[in-house]
Amino acid sequence: MSGFEIERKFLVNGSAYKQEAFHHSRIKQGYICSSHGRTVRVRLRDCQAFLTIKGPSDEKGMSRYEFEKEISCEEAEQLFRLCEPGIIDKTRYLVKSGQHTFEVDEFYGDNEGLVIAEVELKAEDEPFTKPDFIGKEVTGDRRYYNSHLRNNPYCRWASQSEDPS
């Protein structure tokens, strides 16, 4: 798959998303390269693995080029050896809302306590129905990019006076 992805990102209130989810999976991901808004990521999701290349986001932080290719789990494990320090570990919950599916990521490890929801859109101005658990919008706030959380995890934010609320 390749093309532009358009997504909006939100903080999540409470844990109702877990009961509303129609599916969930554990994700481990690392970054072979992450600089200047460009990333090369390896992801292991349950029994599947992917290599993803993303370009820099637009000025609103909503759109960016994405190329993704499925690889074998063995290849993913080998590529993890090339990754920069800091692995992202999370569970992704899929929640249907209107015509869209929200991906809700509950983070572990140094990012424990952070829960973020994303919705992919076909156009930047496409309307969508927000589930009740959706909180503050953080689209374009680079602190919430997984590649940034790898370097500057959520557990350090309080000590840096970067309150996420």
**pLDDT tens digits, one per residue of 46-57:** 999 999 999 998
- Output the six-digit token pair for 136: 């503050």
| Residue 158 near residue 120 (C-beta atoms within 8 A) | no
The pTM assigned to this predicted structure is 0.90
Handedness of CA 71, 77, 81, 84 (dihedral sign): positive
On whether the CB atoms of residues 141 and 27 are closer than 8 A, the answer is: no
Q: Contact, 12 vs 115, CB < 8 A?
A: yes
Contact 116, 126 (CB under 8 A): no
- Chain segment 77-89, per-residue pLDDT in tens: 999 999 999 999 9
pLDDT digits (tens, 9 = 90+) for 13-23: 999 999 999 99
Q: Given the residues 31, 93, 144, 145, select the one marked as catalytic.
A: 31
31 carries an active-site annotation: yes
